[in-house]
Amino acid sequence: MKRVKIILAASLAFAQPASAQDAFKPEQVRSGSETYARHCAPCHGPRLADPEGAPDLRKFPRDQRERFLTSVSKGKNSMPPWGDLLRPDEIEALWAYVATDGKN
Amino acid sequence: MGKLSPGTVLFAACAAVAHAQTQEELLHDGNGGSTDNVLTYGMGYHQQRYSPLKQINKNTVKRLVPVWALSLANEVGEQGQPLVYNGVMYVSNVRQTVAIDIATGRQIWATPIEWDPAAARVVCCGLSNRGVALYDGKVFVASIDAYLKALDAKTGKEIWKTKVAEWKEGYSITSAPTVVNGVLITGMTGGEYGVRGFLAGYHPATGSLLWRRYTTAGPGEKGHETWPAGDAYLRGGGSTWITGSYDPDLDLTYWGTSNGGPWDANWRPGDNLWVASVLALRPKTGQIVWHYQWTPAETYDYDGNNENVLADITVNGVKRKVLMHADRNGFLYVLDRTNGELLAGNPYVTVNWAERIDLATGRPVETQVAKRLRSGEKVELKPRWTGGKNWFPMAFNPNTGLLYFPMKEETAIYQINKERPAYKPGERYQGVENTTAPRAPGAAWGYYAALNPLTAKPKWRMPLVEFPMWSGMLATAGGLVFSGKLSGEFIAIDEDTGKIVWQFQTSSGINAQPITYTHNGRQYVTVLSGLGGGTSAKRETAGKIQPGGSVWTFALMPD
């Protein structure tokens, strides 16, 4: 939780996608890609491309990390909540994957 | 109770009938019964979705106007088919069941359907509820979290509630229940989550379980030899997410089964009975009398759930009791419904995974594309996994002998993963990466067509250019076929020419199932409007259509 707060503070302080990107570790992005492939790809599209009805996450604003974490955790519109299945660090890793387009 | 005049007794008897709809009425629904009622999913146990009504016809349709609309306060989509009994319409979506006064369009009662939002995780492809069943004064409705409920048809109050399965293990229900031969039957869904498919029969009065019939053959059952040793059959899929049809003379109910689990069939070598099949069962016991497998060793996500339409048609000069089915796998099948014998199986869209269905063996002859796909190569697959036709039901007009339905011509890029998919209860169990091949700009998504069931040859075809269609069909004796577009137009099509002769723009996209009926001698047509319920429709309309559910009812404007 402390780590989450630090990253959040960093994002708020700089609000720069590049700064946020620097904070992501390759292992985190890789872990996020695995969670994404299992739970998210069926609706949001394999490897972030070709979504099947759900929003295109390549267009998700990179300065809205908090909104991403909340939406995944609590659900949004047709998307169910994932907070009781995925740990906070797994959702954080998902954000790392999405925010870097899986390229880190 | 004092002295009663004969008139009072008669009145009392009628009042009882008015609120306690019977098995006899179910038998005659869409089959010579009162056109004031629509009592079954499919407008008759045969699911022909054909009405003898012709007040609205090619000449009068220009006077067809909306007479009322009612919001359903639901943004995730409407796929349901309303039922009608004695001037009351019963409508459901994933959020609520609503009773409506047909004469005014006003709500009589509305009962919320509550479920844990997390249960939406086990609904693969869109939050949907396709309708209710009516029997003996009760409205039966299922929920996303796999409960089945009975409501009082007069008040909407819950009479009983039973848990059909555990959503946390991947089970959900999106289909309308049905009552046949006195038994309340429900299917289930979850083929993307490693479930073991089943049908369940309940006592309509109490909700007590009468039987449960699994759709993957277990140890000791004939068909178990089509599964590998071990417990693959316990996670083998074969869900039952479209309401079955019923032949009361044969006392058989016909249900399709879904794709196998995981999607990659290499982890469950064999034909995998009774996945991607049709089952003919006894409604009293759930006993399987015969089966036919559309796609043996199914690995393409070609669910075999599409509706099984019953009719008596002439085949090679002989009148046969048949079952007609347009499968996701691209073939249109005609079976003898007394025994499951294959009478015809022809492609109705471009198919590249199988050359043909061998009439001698009853099996598809797979192509090199299928072999390459099974070996792990990335291939272009036709039809796309969503099928040449998906769940939206076709109509059969016994006068023309033709089937009417929209079809899709999309191509998938499909590759099975190298790694064995890990099974965790309630989580995806697929093991495939699937995307969509780009379409040429302006290319049709598919066609809306009138087809000969025995040849799959079209009498006419209408290209679907802007969006594909996801609405059910309704054929009428007025020479019109009704349907809806994802862009929201409710349409009437001339059954002879395939031309749209009337349309009205409703409030959202239509991906539901129109019905027609009479009230005080006037013919009405009703359809739900509300984009969604299936995720593909959102992809295809790309943000151009607003969601939001409503009921729309039409009738002829008086002279």
The answer to whether the beta carbons of residues B299 and B263 sit under 8 Å apart is yes
Those residues of chain A that have pLDDT short of 50 are 1-19
Those residues of chain B that have pLDDT short of 50 are 1-17
Query: What's the structural domain count of chain B?
Result: 1
What is the SS3 assignment for B297-359? CCCCCCCCCCCCEEEEEEECCEEEEEEEEECCCCEEEEEECCCCCEEEEEECCCCCCEEEECC
Domain hosting A75: range is 2-99
Interchain pair A52, B536: CB under 8 A: yes
The whole-number pLDDT of residue B222 equals 95
The whole-number pLDDT of residue A70 equals 97
Distance between CA atoms of residues B9 and A63, nearest Å: 74
Residue A104 lies in a domain: no
List the single residue in A38, A41, A75 with the smallest CB-CB distance to B427. Answer: A38
* A63 three-class SS: coil
Residue B321 lies in a domain: no
Distance between CA atoms of residues B381 and B376, nearest Å: 13
Residue A87 lies in a domain: yes
Residue B57 lies in a domain: yes
Q: What is the DSSP string of B123-171?
A: -TT-----B-EEETTEEEEE-TTSEEEEEETTT--EEEEEE-S-GGGT-
User: Do the strands B88-92 and B83-85 form a parallel or antiparallel pair, or are they unpaired?
Assistant: antiparallel
Residue A7 lies in a domain: yes
The whole-number pLDDT of residue B47 equals 98
- Nearest-CA distance from B238 to chain A in Å? 19
* A70 three-class SS: helix
The answer to whether the beta carbons of residues A47 and A41 sit under 8 Å apart is yes
Interchain pair A54, B427: CB under 8 A: no
User: What is the CA angle B125-B171-B180, rounded to 5?
Assistant: 100
The answer to whether the beta carbons of residues B529 and B507 sit under 8 Å apart is yes
Among B264, B301, B303, B327, the active-site one is B301
Domain hosting B500: range is 47-79+462-559
Residue B96 lies in a domain: no
Interchain pair B535, A79: CB under 8 A: no
Q: How far is CA B414 from the centre of its chain?
A: 26
Domain containing residue A28: CATH number: 1.10.760.10
- Nearest-CA distance from B118 to chain A in Å? 5
Query: What's the structural domain count of chain A?
Result: 1
Is B301 among the residues known to form the active site?
yes
Distance between CA atoms of residues B371 and B359, nearest Å: 21
Interchain pair A77, B76: CB under 8 A: yes
Residue B66 lies in a domain: yes
Residue B420 lies in a domain: no
Interchain pair B121, A85: CB under 8 A: yes
- Whether complex ipTM tops 0.90: no
pTM for the complete prediction? 0.93
- Nearest-CA distance from B135 to chain A in Å? 32
Residues facing residue B347 across a β-bridge: B331
Q: Which residues does chain B have within 8 Å of residue A84's beta carbon, measured at their own beta carbons?
A: 118
Q: Which amino acid is at B533?
A: G
Residue A58 lies in a domain: yes
Alpha-carbon distance values, B508 to A61, B54, B75, B446 (Å): 28, 27, 10, 21
Residue A84 lies in a domain: yes
Distance between CA atoms of residues B347 and B326, nearest Å: 9
The whole-number pLDDT of residue A68 equals 97
Place of tokens 């190569």: B377
List the single residue in A38, A78, A84 with the smallest CB-CB distance to B118. Answer: A84
